[in-house]
Amino acid sequence: MAIELPAQPKVGMVSLGCPKALVDSERILTRLRADGYAMSGDYAGADVVLVNTCGFLDSAKEESLAAIGEAIAENGRVIVTGCMGNEAEAIRARFPDVLAVTGAHQYEAVVEAVHEAAPPGQGPFVDLIPQALDEGGGIKLTPRHYSYLKISEGCNHGCSFCIIPQLRGKLASRRIDAVLREAEKLVAAGTRELLVISQDTSAYGVDIGHEPREWHGRQVRAHMTDLARELGSLRTPDGQVPWVRLHYVYPYPHVDAVIPLMAEGLLTPYLDIPFQHASPSVLKAMKRPANEARVLERLRNWREICPDIAIRSSFVVGFPGETEQDFAYLLDWLDEAQLDRVGAFRFEPVAGAPANDLPGAVPDEVKEERYARLMARTEAISAARLTAKVGRVLPVIIDEVGEPDEEGDIGATGRSQADAPEIDGNVFLRNVAPSLRPGDIVEVEVEDADAHDLFGVIAAA
């Protein structure tokens, strides 16, 4: 007699915000899958919908509220989590029908809310199936060939424009052996690129006294340099060195120690450093270190050690009290720094941030004008740096392979080591082989460039 297993309740997920929130979404879905839930790719098929919100800027909050509203309209059974979860009263005032509201990385609370809204449908037979919860073996919301590796939560900085410590708490580092175990499993499962993320990667382990743990028979400290060295020793199943990309790196002195690892090919020659500004007076108002001259010297030293290192950063324009002289200083600093990738934000007041009370508010039209000038300047720098790569052969990781066109030619999209997914540029390839697959790392001859992207062909063997 055939036994009919109980139907699995289905969960839908809308994930907003930064890669750190994406990792939270992956962990929540992994826990729910282990509890017997299936995943739904649309509103109609979901018994309950999770909305993982972003609450960093007012514009992000509005996007989150819009997503909650859409989920309620399309499904009606909605649980809210994430950074905006600390504003539960405001969410419930606007959407009284939400089933539950939880804060950032409150995994247990989210799972409990889902259990209450749509009880798991496991029966006595399903309960006997082992449900693995090991790190690195869960649901991924990124393509198979790259993965985010979150090493800590929270932040100890008191930047005047930021409320991340209020949303996610103080720095809380993961054990070094847990991080390395997850990285090892991800690489064994097909990850070719690890993207190390946190609120402050350089501060990893400070809160736990850089506590050492045993890893493969030796003691390894919970410290950024030890972590970088160990990640650089990983190998894919076919013996290749995976790309290891460091994000959210504050330029503390010990960052110098990872540059030789990049020169040796053990780490991807790329640093994502949130400089935010260059003017000493603005940095002081932001409550950030005003060491822009020292940073320029270190950038020069890093490029001497590893000429191919790519530096990405982001800057805020129109911060309260920013004068035209401050902004001109920033432009001059960027001319000297020659950063490879730059993003910019117009200052937005964030509820609860001390910067809201600073004098010297910059008019919106001035913010827009400065933003346009900054982007024009950095676009020119980017175009020149990319043009200098024409004629070179560079390693490229493939993200997507297209269909043959009317002449049978196949194109592909990839990224160089200077390009992180979603935020940087691409490398567009022509006339690739049908056997090329996402995740392949190939040598590409660069034929052309524009302000953001490269164009080329796979180099002859």
Q: Encode 148-176: b = buried (16+ Cβ within 10 Å), e = exposed.
A: bbbbbbbbebebbbbbbbebbbebebbeb
Assigned domain for 67 exists:
yes
State the burial class of residue 213 (Cβ atoms within 10 Å of its Cβ: 0-12, 13-18, 19+). middle
Verify that 121 and 210 share a domain, yes or no. Answer: no
Interior angle at CA 357, CA 356 and CA 363, nearest 5: 60
Assigned domain for 5 exists:
no
CA distance 85 to 70: 17
Nearest to 244 by CA among 393, 388, 417, 413: 417
Verify that 119 and 22 share a domain, yes or no. Answer: yes
* pLDDT in the model for residue 125: 41
Verify that 197 and 324 share a domain, yes or no. Answer: yes
Verify that 215 and 262 share a domain, yes or no. Answer: yes
Verify that 341 and 425 share a domain, yes or no. Answer: no
* pLDDT in the model for residue 338: 97
Assigned domain for 3 exists:
no
Verify that 381 and 398 share a domain, yes or no. Answer: no
Across 217-263, the runs of DSSP E, i.e. the strands, are 218-221, 243-246
Assigned domain for 4 exists:
no
State the burial class of residue 302 (Cβ atoms within 10 Å of its Cβ: 0-12, 13-18, 19+). buried
Assigned domain for 135 exists:
no
* pLDDT in the model for residue 137: 56
Assigned domain for 141 exists:
no
Residue 418 CA, distance from chain mean position? 15
Looking only at the bridges linking them, the beta strands covering 412-416 and 310-317 are unpaired
Q: Of 336, 353, 387, which marks where a domain is finished?
A: 387
Assigned domain for 1 exists:
no
Verify that 382 and 437 share a domain, yes or no. Answer: no
Q: In what order do the strands lie in the sheet with 78-82?
A: 38-39, 10-15, 48-53, 78-82, 100-101
Assigned domain for 140 exists:
no
3-state secondary structure of 232: coil
Amino acid sitting at position 218: R
Question: Cβ(431)–Cβ(425) under 8 Å?
Answer: no
Verify that 180 and 312 share a domain, yes or no. Answer: yes
Verify that 25 and 168 share a domain, yes or no. Answer: no
Q: How many domains does the chain have?
A: 3
Q: Of 65, 98, 128, which marks where a domain is finished?
A: 128
Q: List the CATH number of the domain containing 37.
A: 3.40.50.12160
Q: List the CATH number of the domain containing 436.
A: 2.40.50.140
Verify that 252 and 328 share a domain, yes or no. Answer: yes
Interior angle at CA 420, CA 416 and CA 426, nearest 5: 50
pLDDT digit string (tens) for 28-71?
A: 888 888 888 888 888 988 899 999 988 777 778 888 899 999 99
pTM score, two decimals? Answer: 0.83
Q: Of 128, 161, 186, which marks where a domain is finished?
A: 128
CA distance 426 to 429: 10
Q: List the CATH number of the domain containing 280.
A: 3.80.30.20
pLDDT mean for each 10 residues of the chain (461 residues): 62 86 84 84 89 81 90 91 85 90 82 87 44 54 90 88 80 96 94 94 95 95 96 94 95 92 96 94 85 82 97 96 97 97 90 86 96 97 97 97 89 97 95 94 97 95 73
Domain span at residue 29 reads 10-128
Verify that 64 and 170 share a domain, yes or no. Answer: no
Verify that 320 and 212 share a domain, yes or no. Answer: yes
* pLDDT in the model for residue 408: 85
